[in-house]
Structure 1
Amino acid sequence: MSRKAGNIFKYLFLSVAAFISIFPFVFMILGMTNKSIDVSSGKLQIGSELLTNMKNLFENTLNFKGAFLNSLVIAIVTTVLALVISSLAGYGFEIYRSKVSDRIFNVILLSMMVPFSALMIPLYRMFGKMNAAGFKGLGLNSYFSVIIPAVATAFLIFFFRQNIKSFPKELVEAARIDGLTELTIFLRIFVPINKNTYAAAAIITFMSSWNSYLWPLVALQSPEKRTLPLILSAMGASYTPDYGMMMCGIVLSTLPTAILFFMMQKQFVQGMIGSVK
């Protein structure tokens, strides 16, 4: 009897937790079909204003479509560069271990303790000097001013190195004996075996870049360069926010990360537990 009661309590608790987790998404989906006043009053019914809200969203002067494309470009480029650079760094730190490399790696780990807000002023000055030197494509108000600080994070390097610990080093030695170059070993042996690790890192990096708000707010100064979080924040900061339109924007901005996660959730779980097949 006690076991049955325990199971009832467990499933009841999980049901309540699931409802709390799902309710905001349900409210967003219902809200995008209602008028602003209905959303603010908490109406939980399907309305008939979906097409109107979508039209207002794409015809708004804040340029939601342009912001969506900006976020997509920045997130994709950041993810690709981060996977290449961080995996190479993690591979090098583990395969070519030495006292010097371990000390450098420890310094990189220490950088995780520095809050990003403390780095904003040095980053702003550095990219500002890039503008002054004539490299405007790499300076402030450019995509790369947002991409570069995110392509080699201490967490990703640590994540790849930890997963490489379970990588069979005998394969590297055998490949070297067969005459393969180090780059060939990395591309043809290491990358295919660790595809789950790459999938997990890709999801983490894409979601982090897609949802980034503080640094793009500082670095991207032109309205046409703004990303989705900045546009959504601007919608809510207006004197009379259109909550129906905002819900449409929030739902559309959630779709890319949701689709990516559900497409790769199996690889994500395996990559996070360090699975190598």
Structure 2
Amino acid sequence: MRKVKSFLNYFVLTVVSILSVFPLYWMAVSATNKSVDVIGGKLIPGNYLLENWKNLLQAQDVGSALINSFRNSIILTLVSLMICSIAGYGFEIYHDKAKDTVMSILLLAMMVPFVATLIPLFQMFSKMGLLNSTIGFILPTISTPFLIMLFRQSARSFPHDIIEAARIDGLGELKIFLQMFIPTMRSTYAAAMTIVFMNAWNSYLWPKVIMLSNEKITMPMMVANMLTGYVIDYGMVMLGVLVCTIPTVIVFFLLQKSFAEGITGAVK
């Protein structure tokens, strides 16, 4: 009975794994085939990869899109991690009832969809002259209630006795945060970095609204532009999707262990 149960568990996990990986496999295979083969559902790698790459470089400014996406994502990730970690640390370490009220209001903001604030944000940023700028890209998501809550929950497992001992030894609050809190919460920072980078890299709606020139195009915008027109080269499109996907896949696989530990609040 135990062997049958074990076999069924492995069988179900195998099927689910195949279903999860298949879209990635189909995307990679399609990037090596002609458009006709992609439409026909060919699942065997072809020899059209170089031709698709040449067509992609001729049709789209891939280099500029990659640079813009990397610049926006890296800047947003670094700034967001610093601001949200300081906020989460402050909410928990310097705890009082007023901060609980503020935190509750912040959590309510998670229920407001971004689309509801899109037009007011655009009007405000337009008047401030922040269109077509990296600052305009990062400001709406520079601090999110979810990340603040994540760091606050992690700060609850940070030993307060260590903080008191450090204060008695004359260590300032800034040094306690930089030299003690940040190294201890490395897994939380890794989890937050994964979330912020992937969200920033895959962001499409807000850059589409605020980036008005072709020089500021990002990778998701470039892929969307490839789907316009009367004739669509699906092999080239899938290669563009593959190029757009690779950075997020690399980041996730490099940080997957720390990501899992950070989400569960583990502290080493």
Alignment of 1:13-162 (within 5 A): 13-60=12-59, 62-131=60-129, 139-162=130-153
Note the residue ranges of structure 1 that are not aligned, 5 or more in a row: 132-138
* CA displacement, residues 154-186 of structure 1 (integer Å, 9 cap, x when unaligned): 110011001111110111111111111111110
d(CA) in 1 for partners of 2:119, 2:108: 19
For 1:134, the equivalent position in structure 2 comes to none
For 1:204, the equivalent position in structure 2 comes to 195
Note the residue ranges of structure 2 that are not aligned, 5 or more in a row: none
d(CA) in 2 for partners of 1:59, 1:187: 47
Superposition deviation, residue 68 in structure 1:
1.3
Using structure 1 for the length normalisation, give the TM-score: 0.94
For 1:252, the equivalent position in structure 2 comes to 243
Query: How many residue pairs get matched?
Result: 268
For 2:226, the equivalent position in structure 1 comes to 235
d(CA) in 2 for partners of 1:34, 1:92: 53
Query: Which secondary structure state, in structure 2, belongs to the residue aligned with residue 24 of structure 1?
Result: helix
Percent identity of paired positions between Structure 1 and Structure 2: 49
Note if 1:195 corresponds to 2:186. Answer: yes
d(CA) in 2 for partners of 1:224, 1:50: 26
The one-letter code sitting in structure 1 at the alignment partner of 2:121 is L
Superposition deviation, residue 5 in structure 1:
2.3
Superposition deviation, residue 47 in structure 1:
1.0
Superposition deviation, residue 261 in structure 1:
1.1
* CA displacement, residues 246-271 of structure 1 (integer Å, 9 cap, x when unaligned): 11111111111111111111111111
Using structure 2 for the length normalisation, give the TM-score: 0.97
Note if 1:4 corresponds to 2:11. Answer: no
d(CA) in 1 for partners of 2:164, 2:95: 15
Query: Which secondary structure state, in structure 2, belongs to the residue aligned with residue 236 of structure 1?
Result: coil
Query: Which secondary structure state, in structure 1, belongs to the residue aligned with residue 232 of structure 2?
Result: coil
d(CA) in 1 for partners of 2:29, 2:168: 62
* CA displacement, residues 180-200 of structure 1 (integer Å, 9 cap, x when unaligned): 111111000000010110000
* CA displacement, residues 6-39 of structure 1 (integer Å, 9 cap, x when unaligned): 2222222111111111111111111111111111
The one-letter code sitting in structure 1 at the alignment partner of 2:54 is K
List structure 1 segments (4+ residues) > 4 angstroms apart after TM superposition.
Answer: none
d(CA) in 1 for partners of 2:57, 2:155: 45
